Amino acid sequence: MLITHPKVEEDLADAVKFFDSKSNIVGDKFLQAVETADEQIKENPLRFHPYGNRFRRCNLRGFPYHIIYEVDGDWIGILVIRHDRRQLPRF
């Protein structure tokens, strides 16, 4: 089961708004990259490299963004979608 933190929706909307201001095509491609990453995470949650002690990081293909998520049994929690240069605390 994939559960998304409420802040992720805000992060995603901000990124899409930015890319749409450049080109609707780029905004659509960004959303596609997020959807593809979500599917890959669901299919094999341990595929991506560890980030700290409890989390994993999935880089978005074609964009300088990544997804930080947590795996606990059948439960997968998406915590953030962030630009690679944005500072994040180490978990």
Q: Which residues pair with 66 in a beta bridge?
A: 59, 82
Domain assignment of residue 71, yes or no: yes
pLDDT value of residue 86 = 66
pLDDT value of residue 91 = 46
**C-alpha distances in angstroms, 90 versus 22, 23, 24, 68?**
31, 33, 33, 11
Split into its structural domains, the chain has a count of 1
Domain assignment of residue 65, yes or no: yes
Domain assignment of residue 88, yes or no: no
**C-alpha distances in angstroms, 89 versus 8, 25, 55, 66, 68?**
16, 32, 12, 14, 11
Per residue in 37-76, pLDDT tens? 999 999 999 999 999 889 999 999 999 999 999 999 889 9
d(CA 45, CA 42): 6
Quote the domain boundaries for residue 15: 2-83
Domain assignment of residue 89, yes or no: no
Structure tokens at 1: 């089961």
pLDDT value of residue 90 = 52
pLDDT value of residue 77 = 96
Domain assignment of residue 52, yes or no: yes
H/E segment holding residue 32: helix 24-43
CATH number of the domain within which 15 lies: 3.30.2310.20
Domain assignment of residue 46, yes or no: yes
